[in-house]
Structure 1
Amino acid sequence: MIMKKLFVLVACLLGYLACCAQSDYKVVFDITSKAVEDHNTLMRQVNSILKSSPDAQLEVAVYGEALDMVLKDKSKISPALTELLNNKKVAVKVCGITMKRNNKDASELIPGVEIVPDAIYEIITKQKEGWGYIKVAH
């Protein structure tokens, strides 16, 4: 009887440790601001998370007035964003609706930025999958 209880206790402990050991740090950032200060804040936040949790999965959903942030000819943070896009744990996704409304196409984006049909739907989907959510604004 004692061995059975001990076995169950050890099994539960191992299960708990296995769950805790997994890196489930997943965050989607929502940015709609055209303010360069907000773009820089986003970069600081993402890089800070990656420094403390290198296995974190991060996604940036760009739409609305933040479109310039991901356009090759308008971005004020292009070098930093390009460097960030080299990390396989980070995705930057721009709203297709925003692109269409502003008459922009994929060739105008910083390489590595992906287009999704609807950034709000993308955010909601990530939240349903258990991702954390951060609105970038000041």
Structure 2
Amino acid sequence: MKKLLIMFTFLLGSIVCLAQANYKVIFDITSKTPEAQQTLLRQLNGILKGAPDAQLEVAIYGDALDMVLKDKSGVAPAVSELLSQHKNVSFKVCGATMKRNNKTASELLPGVQVVPDAIYEIITKQREGWGYIKVAH
């Protein structure tokens, strides 16, 4: 019985460690409000404090486009800091949203990537087992 208990404890510990190592979350933001964008940044930083190796991605589309435009972002320093200090954090903007708004990749903050479609990006990550969080305020 004692051996069984030790083996169970070891197995449970291994599962917990594995779960922490595979922490992957995609965030979905469509809001241009400063409150929603600050909420997103607070959530990212909070996760990184508890799980520094977590893979975090932000899918940006719709009205949230301004948050990653060089000349319009109210959170540019925080986004740039996350991108430069954490290689496991990415910000991906919807190419369709950019096209609708006549924007080009050169207008984005450094490090922000363009994907063809943000919703498809979210669905793809979910199929790969990523968690999903819709940011709203």
Same fold (TM over 0.5): yes
What is the deviation of 1:21? 1.6
1:16-31 pair list within 5 angstroms: 17-22=13-18, 23-31=21-29
**What RMSD, in angstroms, separates the aligned Cα atoms of the two structures?**
1.9
Mapped pair 1:105 → 2:111: no
- Which secondary structure does the structure 2 equivalent of 1:34 belong to? coil
Of 60, 63, 77 in structure 2, the residue corresponding to residue 62 of structure 1 is: 60
- Which secondary structure does the structure 2 equivalent of 1:75 belong to? coil
What is the deviation of 1:17? 4.0
How far apart, in 2, do the equivalents of 1:84 and 1:42 lie? 12
What is the deviation of 1:12? 7.5
Identity of aligned residues (%): 65
Is there any run of 5+ residues in structure 2 with no aligned partner, and where? none
The two structures have a TM-score, normalised by structure 2, of 0.89
Aligned to 1:4: none
Aligned to 1:41: 39
What is the deviation of 1:55? 1.1
What is the deviation of 1:94? 0.2
- Which secondary structure does the structure 1 equivalent of 2:56 belong to? strand
What is the deviation of 1:32? 0.2
What is the deviation of 1:123? 0.3
- Per-residue CA deviations over 1:36-58 (Å, capped at 9, x if unaligned) read 11111100000000001111110
Partner amino acid for 1:69? M
How far apart, in 1, do the equivalents of 2:6 and 2:127 lie? 33
- Which secondary structure does the structure 1 equivalent of 2:91 belong to? strand
Of 73, 77, 80 in structure 2, the residue corresponding to residue 79 of structure 1 is: 77
The number of residue pairs the alignment matches comes to: 134
Aligned to 2:123: 124
- Which secondary structure does the structure 2 equivalent of 1:27 belong to? strand
